[in-house]
Amino acid sequence: MAASLRLNGQTVVVTGGTSGIGFATALMAITEGAGEVILIGRSEDRGASAVKALGDRARSMMLDVTDEVAVARAFSELGPIDHLVTAAAGTYRGRVTELETEGARALFESKFWGQHHCVKYGGPQVRPTGSITLFSGWISRKPMIGTGTLAAIDGAIEALGRVLSLELAPIRVNTVVPGMIDTPLWGARLSPDQQREHFATIRRDLPVGRAGTAEDVAHAVMFLMTNGFTTGAVVDVDGGQC
């Protein structure tokens, strides 16, 4: 394995690693020489498909990150790692006065507490030269009607990341803020025709003239994993979204 590869022999754990941004990050980590990439997700079938696509340096682990006891057990069994990327995502939208509180709580459980659990129990396993990359979203600072729960979670994650960069030092902790990224998540919210219309609007509105890709975000994650002088940062990958 070439010494020039940025993750030469290192171990990377990616939650939400079986699809979308998580999978793109895992693929890039392997391309950059990671010795092992561990994909954490809730679907055994998607995990098996992702591992088949990535090759023999990848393996999957079924885990619900909202289950604190299971997360604690899983990370204790993993042993030392070099990088933790918490890319598992979700969405639940609607005006605050109309949202079902149960659904809003469930999103907090997955996107905020899921990342919190992974850092709490995975952080002690990260080597001192390693990194943790959290995931927020553009909604926290560029608000849109019907996204109050998401905005609150994203803001909380960004604040958490800044504090963790101090508490877990010298481990580096940063937060990535994806903008309008074309991932499979949109299929759960919009029909194919609605998706085409949505992304056509994005192409017109964004300075870069296109929606983002999972690979665009993975490049930012790779920078944060490998740049030893960046910590406590919140990095926008949003195509210049206003």
Domain ranges of the chain: 11-235
- Per-10-residue mean pLDDT of the chain, 242 residues long, equals 76 95 97 98 95 97 96 96 91 81 90 97 98 93 84 95 98 95 69 76 87 94 98 95 74
CATH architecture of the region 11-235: 3-Layer(aba) Sandwich (3.40)
Q: Nearest 5°: phi and psi at 36?
A: -150, 135
Tallying the residues shown for the chain, one arrives at 242
Q: Judge contact between 54 and 46, C-beta under 8 A.
A: no
pTM: 0.92
Amino acid at 211: A
Distance separating alpha carbons of residues 21 and 213, to the nearest angstrom: 8
